[in-house]
Amino acid sequence: MVIPKRQRVTVITAREMVESLRDEGIGAELVGQDGLVPTHVRAIDRADENCLTFYIGGDSELVRNLRNCVLLCKDGLTGVHESVSRIVVEDPRLAFAIIAQQFLPPLPGPGIHPTAIVDDESELHPTAYIGPYCTLEKCVVGEGCVIHPRVMIYANTTIGRRVEVESGAVIGATGLGRSVGPDGRHWLFPHFGETVLEDEVFVGANSVITRGVLGNTVLKDGSRVNSGVVIAHNCVVGRHTAISIGVTMSGSGVVGERCFIGSSASLKEGIKLGNDVVVGMGSIVTKSFEEDGVVIMGNPARRYKERS
C-alpha cells in the first residue's frame, strides 16, 4: 500500500505572501517587484538568490549583500538593493514562520500504514494519517491528523482536528495515582478518565500524556508540547500554551492560555497558573501563581516580574 503525500503550495509570489499575511490579520506592505517567486528559505547570514529570508536587526552588511530575493523586515530599513522584494511587517520572525510553512516537506497521508495496528472500534477521519508501527486502541482521531511512526494511543482518547503527534509519543497511559494499604502495599487508583487533545495540538517525540483518573486530561486548542514531556493525570493545558522539552507536569495541574513553560521545569501536583505566565527553564514550581502575565523562575519558583 502506498500512502499518498499531502501537498503544500510551494510556488508563491511576493504579492501572494503579503495577501497570506493579511489573511492572518498581520499588516504587510510590499516594496519592490511583486512577482518574485522564492524557491527555498535561508537564514539572513546564508541568504542567496531566489530565497525567502528575514531580518530583525544586527549586521546591516548582510542586508546590503542581498540580491533577487524576498526579505521580511521592519519599516525604515535602508541599504537594500533594488532587486530585493521587501515585505514590511511589524514582526519579521513571525511573518517568516507563517510564510515558510509553504516550503516544508509535504505531510504524509491520508491513510493507515499497513504495519499500524488499529482497533476495529476506533473512529478515524478519512483524512487522517496513521504512520508505521503505530498502535491505536479504541479511540477517535479527527480530520487532518498526522500520527507519526511508533506512536501508542490508548483507549478513551479523543483527538481533534489537525493534530500532529510525533514518533514515540504515548497518549492515554496510566499514571501513578495510588492509595497505600496498612501493610504498605500500593493500590493503583483506577484510571476511568479520558485523554482529550483538542484541535491543532502538537505533541513532540517521546512525550507521555497520561489519561485522567475520574476526570479528563485535556490539551486545549493550539497547545504545543515539545519532546520528552510528561503530563500527568487530570492536567489541563490551556489554549496556545507552549511546553518546552523535558518538562514534568504532575497530576491535576492547570495551566492557563498562552503560557510558556521553559525546558526541564517541574510543576508540583495540583498547581494552577494563570494566563500568559512564563516559567523559566529548570524551575521547580511548588505553589500556584494564578495572576495573569507573570514571569516565575527558580527553585522553588518565585515571581520575577510581569511579562512584557
Per DSSP, the three-state class of 242 is strand
Q: Which of 40, 191, 233, 240 is catalytic?
A: 233
In 1-68, which residue ranges form alpha helices assigned H by DSSP?
Answer: 14-23, 61-64
CA distance 61 to 113: 49
CA distance 157 to 139: 5
- CB–CB of 188/170 below 8 Å? no
**Count of other CB atoms within 10 angstroms of residue 65:** 14
Which cell numbers in the block locate residue 117?
495496528
Side-by-side strand order, sheet with 40-41: 29-31, 85-88, 70-73, 51-54, 40-41
Element (H, E) at 97: helix 92-99
Cα distance from N-terminal residue to C-terminal residue, the chain: 52
Torsion of CA 285, 286, 290, 291, to 10 degrees: -60
> Using CB atoms within 10 A of its CB, is residue 290 exposed (0-12), middle (13-18) or buried (19+)?
middle
Residues 6+ apart with CB under 8 A from 308: none
Residue 81 annotated as catalytic: no
Which residues are catalytic, by number?
233
